[in-house]
Amino acid sequence: MTVTIPKEFEPFIEEKIRVGQFPDANAVVSEAVRQFSEQQRDWNADSPELKAFLLDAVRGGHRPLQLGDLEEMERRILAEDKARCR
């Protein structure tokens, strides 16, 4: 696979190589893709309730979000995180 990186990113990539953080441009891009992939996976894995809520809101049936809605989501997410850490 060949990927073309926009010129505006070249100084960033070159700096990462220059300071020894990465051996070459491929390593910089691979790490960026790895982090992006992880971020996307985290979104899907950690927030299915929020994702469903947002998708429903985008698709229709809009109603104003109330403070209680956010508080309830926060309680559920914190409880899930706590259960996962056990």
Tens of pLDDT, residues 11-28: 999 999 999 999 999 999
Q: Please give the pLDDT value at position 62.
A: 67
The structure's pTM equals 0.49
- Give 7's DSSP letter: G
d(CA 51, CA 43): 8
User: What ranges in 1-86 are assigned the alpha helix state H?
Assistant: 10-18, 25-46, 48-59, 67-85
